[in-house]
Amino acid sequence: MPYKYNTTTTSRKKRLPSGCVFGGIFTFTGIVMAAICAYVAIDTSLFKGKSCPAQAVIIDVAYHGSDMTGTTIVRYSANGQAHTCGLNYTSTSLHKGDTITINYLKADPRKARYIAGNRFIIILSAVMALVFGGMGAALLLAQRRRKRKTMRLINTGMMVEADITDISENIYMSMDGRHPIIISCRYTSPEGRVYLFRSSSSWYGSYDITPKKKIKVYIDREDPSFYYVDVDSVVG
């Protein structure tokens, strides 16, 4: 079977980030969201301890631009005096004329917050922390297991040199408009048995591969269905 080789360019590009990088990004995002959740929760708890609840009437909802962020202006009474305050929180559930429960500072009744709105932020950031953190941890764990299996095959498996039969793109993965490549190869044992192998997705361009060079494949000595195709062995 003839190999497919893209000769549109001969300039070698750097290898793109692997799944380990994506796992790190997701994990970092999860940590950031967890930090936001903790900060808002602690800040809300401290504010609540220094404040008093009061019934407030929404007198206006002012949106800033088209991003649905804005200020909810409320009027309430504290210590026998009427106060007007702008809350840095808006929601489609809040309308002019509605009555809501706010908390104002005992030391300065002019400062108030909508605690229920903070609860929504806490829950949302906690969910996002769990989702991104879980995805990141899963990717990092999978990458670690894959690396351990690869190292086991390299250290204990049987190394053979196979002929490249095809270089194709994995159209189901994409980054920056590029697709990773998959190398198919063929090895014929001294006994005449033919083995076909496929590499995992690798972030090289087809022009990075030397197609006439034999590619190294590490095979499990007891089960040939477990193997590792060393794409790096034919780069350059």
Same domain, 125 and 154: no
Residue whose pair of structure tokens reads 């590499």 in the numeric block: 199
Q: What pLDDT score does 66 carry? A: 58
Q: CA–CA separation, 106 vs 224, rounded Å?
A: 74
196: tokens are 């076909």
Q: What pLDDT score does 97 carry? A: 93
Same domain, 30 and 62: yes
Same domain, 90 and 168: no
Residue type, 198: R
pTM higher than the cut 0.95: no
Structural domain including 175 reads 145-234
Residue type, 90: T
Indicate whether 12 belongs to any domain: no
Q: What does pLDDT average to in each consecutive run of 10 residues of the chain (236 residues)? A: 35 49 89 95 93 94 69 91 88 88 93 89 94 93 89 94 94 84 94 93 87 94 92 89
Same domain, 117 and 212: no
Based on the structure, what is the number of domains in the chain? 2
Helices 115-156 and 19-49: angle between axes, nearest 10 degrees = 150
Same domain, 189 and 214: yes
Total residue count of the chain as it appears in this document: 236
Indicate whether 21 belongs to any domain: no
Indicate whether 208 belongs to any domain: yes
